[in-house]
Amino acid sequence: MPETTEGPRGATTDQPADGGEHRLTLRGFWDALPPAGRWLLSTTAVSTLGRGMTLPFTVIYMHEVRGLPLDVAGLLMGLIAVVAVLVTGPVGVLTDRLGARPVVIAGLAAQAVGAVVIAFATTLPAFVVAVCLLGLSFGIGWPAFNAMIASIVEGPLRTQFFGVNFALVNLGIGVGGVVSGFLTDVGRPATFTAIFLVDAACVLVPVALLLGPLRGVAGRPQPVEDGADPGVGYLAILRRPAVLWITALTFLSSFVGYGQMEAGFPAFARQVSEVSTRTIGLAFAVNTVVIVGLQFLVLRRIDGHRRTRVFLVLVLLWALGWALLGSTGLVAGTLAAAAGVIVFHVFFGLGETMLQPTVPAIVNDLASDRDRGRYNAVSGGAFQVGAITAPVVAGWLLDRRLAGVFVAVLLVCLGLVAVLALALERRITPEVNGVRRR
């Protein structure tokens, strides 16, 4: 039986015009970007700076500054993810009908208003409104923003853009966290109000960009001509074998990756590895340094290679990281445990540099311009569900002192991710998989 493959719908060839090879350099990447791509990329770190300032301290602000019970603050943070999942489907449809740019603007506006509301919130209803607005912005962010990127850059440049943008996002969040760590004081509520207002102000930077220099990009799609592909619905998209594989892969990657990094990792490091909060903070800082410092080098190394094979390297790195973290329980409370916790984030961060240039690029190369929003919504929904499920599983296992089972579950899931990556490789064309045409 011949191998089944699914090719790019609307994707363009990524072979250089002269037919020759090119070596990826930072200067070459920047020169190859269209003006819209340069504008968008130049503001990424600034627009995420405010989010980095508030992300580590939102629960602390709710509980220690505004007096909400800790369990209520936790539920409010969970509500953000729930709202994000609920709006992902409609956002994908709106993106395809209205264009990515107006939907992205709406999401950014929701984030700005949510940040302002939370800055002055003192009651539970006010916090509910604020976190719902933040959830709305996060639900819009993945499908609409990725669709907008894909409408601006194509081929290998798209892969590189996703990677560089991810590094800049981490730079903004990392710097923001450091700055707010020095500025905030639970005894002075105004310092927390200030960082949320800064968050809102930073979001206005890309809004101004999209209303100004980028007002002509990713707008409403052209009317469908007779006989043209009008795009398809969610059920038809999910019936494509390649989409099923990439969706399952995205869910598991989120479950063992970002979801556990924000919940399972700190809980494990505190309860099992018995390291200080300072060590955990240092580990997250190391993660940011690895991503920002190595992302472009990784892009250069993976340029032209199969994206699914790159993902297998990610699986190996994350497996080594989780196994190392698990072993710190044998030397709990020692310097060796602290070192293991920090090195875990070296492995994890290096793996992250291979995630962003692969999954979003495959998703957008499978999609056409008329259903790109829905493809990204499917991927974004899978990611959000993984991020919601991860803390639940981590909390249940670690609360019962099943640390070994927790690590084993993650390693088994990573094995499944490897199987899914190889299965996906058989369902997509080499071009969708990042291999250039000769």
427 with 241: CB under 8 angstroms? yes
Banded pLDDT at 55 (limits 50, 70, 90): confident
pLDDT reading at 280 higher than 90: no
| CB contact set of 173 (below 8 Å; sequence gap of 6+) | 48, 49, 51, 52, 55, 288
Tell me what pLDDT residue 316 has.
98
What are residue 188's DSSP bridge partners?
Answer: 185
Rounded to an integer, what distance in angstroms lies between the CA atom of residue 283 and that of residue 344?
A: 8
Tokens of 54: 């508030």
Instruction: Report in angstroms the alpha-carbon separations of 114 from 17, 91, 128.
Output: 46, 18, 10
**CB contact burial 358-391 (16+ within 10 A = b; e otherwise):** bbbbbbbbbbbbbbbbbbbbbbbbbbbbbbbbbb
CATH superfamily of 34-156+174-218: MFS general substrate transporter like domains (1.20.1250.20)
Tell me if 428 sits within 8 A of 242, measured CB to CB: yes
Looking at the predicted structure, is the pLDDT value of residue 228 above 80? no
Question: Is there a common fold for 34-156+174-218 and 233-438?
Answer: yes
Q: Which amino acid is at 30?
A: W
The Cα–Cα gap between 405 and 38 comes to 46
| Average pLDDT of the segment spanning 200-221 | 88
pLDDT over 90 at 326, yes or no: yes
pLDDT digits (tens, 9 = 90+) for 150-166: 989 988 888 899 999 99
Mean pLDDT across 57-78: 85
pLDDT at 416: 97
pTM above 0.95, yes or no: no
Write down the domain spans for the chain.
Answer: 34-156+174-218, 233-438
Cβ neighbourhood burial of 303 (10 Å; 0-12, 13-18, 19+)? middle
Q: Give 110-134 pLDDT, tens digit per residue.
A: 999 999 999 999 999 999 999 999 9
Superfamily holding 233-438: MFS general substrate transporter like domains (1.20.1250.20)
Q: Note the pLDDT of residue 385.
A: 92
Q: How far apart are CA 165 and CA 40, in angstroms?
A: 9
pLDDT band of 11, cuts 50, 70, 90: very low
Q: How far apart are CA 259 and CA 390, in angstroms?
A: 5
| Token pair 């609920």 in the structure block, residue | 86
